Amino acid sequence: MIKLKITHIKFTSYMKLYCIMSICFGMVIGLIGFIIGILGGPVSVSIGESIYTGFVGGLLGLIVFPLFIGIFGNIIGLVTFLPFRLFMKIKKGVFLCVEYEDGDIINNDNSMKLDGSEANNGI
């Protein structure tokens, strides 16, 4: 792994990242609801006028939660983009430890810079 310093991020890249994180969070919540539904816990999903509980509610939660949290996550991503860019300007970038394949990172634009002095291959 190497340390990657991100000094600028495009809006589309930020939204892709936020969308993926939101859907994954929704899948975790849906999985927890499904497990609780299997165990007979109080899980209910309402779609329109229909209310589903128990196993069926947990199963529908696997679909509904990632969808809704993904949609609301995109809305939150729209609102938080400018504060994140301001934070990156104040902190002069954000360091991330990443693995990448050759050719994945292009140094033509200013969105990603590899800093050889900050690289740490042992992590």
pLDDT less than 70: residues of the chain: 102-123
Contact in structure between 60 and 24 (CB atoms under 8 Å): no
Q: Among all chains, which residue has been given the structure tokens 């291959």?
A: 121
pLDDT at 106: 57
| Structure tokens given for 19 | 């969308």
Three-state DSSP state, 75: helix
Q: Residue 31 contacts by C-beta under 8 Å, 6 or more apart in sequence?
A: 62
**Which pLDDT does position 117 carry in this prediction?**
46
For position 102, what pLDDT does the model report?
A: 67
pLDDT at 103: 62
Is residue 76 classed as helix, strand or coil in its secondary structure?
helix
What pLDDT is stored for residue 119 in this prediction?
46
Helix (DSSP H) and strand (DSSP E) numbers for the chain = 2, 5
pLDDT at 75: 93
pLDDT at 49: 85
**Domain layout of the chain by residue ranges:** 30-85
Please write the tens of the pLDDT for every residue from 108-122: 554 445 444 444 444
According to DSSP, the residues that pair with 91 across neighbouring strands are: none
Closest CA to 75 of 29, 12, 18, 13: 18
